[in-house]
Amino acid sequence: MAIFKGAGVAIVTPMKENGEINYEVFGELIEDQIAHGTDAIIAVGTSGEAPTLDDDEHIEAIRFAVEKTAKRIPVIGGTGSNNTAHAVMMSREAEKAGADGLLLVAPYYNKATQNGLKEHFKTIAESVNIPSILYNVPSRTGSNILPATAAWLGKNVKNVAAIKEASGNISQVAETIELSAGSLDVYSGNDDQIVPIMSLGGIGVISVLSNVAPRQTHDITEACLNGDYTKAAALQIRALKLIRQLFSEVNPIPVKAALSLQGFQVGAPRLPLTVMEADHQELLKQAMIEYGVL
């Protein structure tokens, strides 16, 4: 059974001026997402600045999301690492904190082989009793979970339930769906490819766009799930200008700027990420106005 279908938000982690997590604003963001139809909260992933949160902060953010969501929608905790033992420890802690599932990014920097990826994900998934979503994002990790590897994991590892596909390669996504033969749910990891991936059999998106346009992102996925791809394509195309601006600098710099423009006090990203450049922020603002979210 799918962890969720539809639009899951890759939610940001709000920060105070002193750099601490701002849980009051985090709660506001979660409530706003639920109120606008978001189908799942994905906490402390890339958009949540996982690389610069220490372990205690990381788990506390997941625990807070679980408590605030109160089982209204699933909470998926980002617990991936390029250190398998560390990922196992974080995954177990996320399970204790009440997470409904895990998001496991491919190991970065050390660039495991495909056999290494199989053993890495198998070891993590078998250490817990909740489902895992693999996260394939070669542009960030330097590691590509090939279709045969993803399919093997879906078929042979009980708790490997899905993959977030952000390779940008539609042919690869299609092959993953083909080879997995129903053993692996597929989520789009790119907001500009929600409709193409869902038209091939994907069941939703793990979305940056949803941070600032939760209802609109949900509506794109809902149209796909209802089989209305004409409507879905029109909604997807309408969102493209804003999506481009949300990735005009490295995520989550633009989405934090966008949320600030909407009045959420999410603060600046932690270093080494910095605030959005003024000219990019102006283009982002105009795209938000045109899209109707500002």
* Residue numbers annotated as active site: 135, 164
Please, are residues 105 and 137 in contact by the beta-carbon 8 Å criterion? Answer: yes
Q: Which two tokens stand for residue 282?
A: 């102006």
Chain mean position to CA 147:
20
Please, are residues 103 and 91 in contact by the beta-carbon 8 Å criterion? Answer: no
How far apart CA 75 and CA 256 sit, in angstroms, is: 21
How far apart CA 45 and CA 203 sit, in angstroms, is: 20
Is residue 78 within a helix (H) or strand (E), and if so which, with residue range? strand 75-78
Q: For the chain, what is the largest distance between any 2 Cα atoms, rounded to a whole number of angstroms? A: 49
For 15, list phi and psi in degrees, rounded to 5.
Answer: -125, 145
Tally the residues of the chain: 294
For 70, list phi and psi in degrees, rounded to 5.
Answer: 55, 45
**Exposed, middle or buried, 56 (CB in 10 Å: 0-12/13-18/19+)?**
exposed
Is residue 214 within a helix (H) or strand (E), and if so which, with residue range? helix 214-225
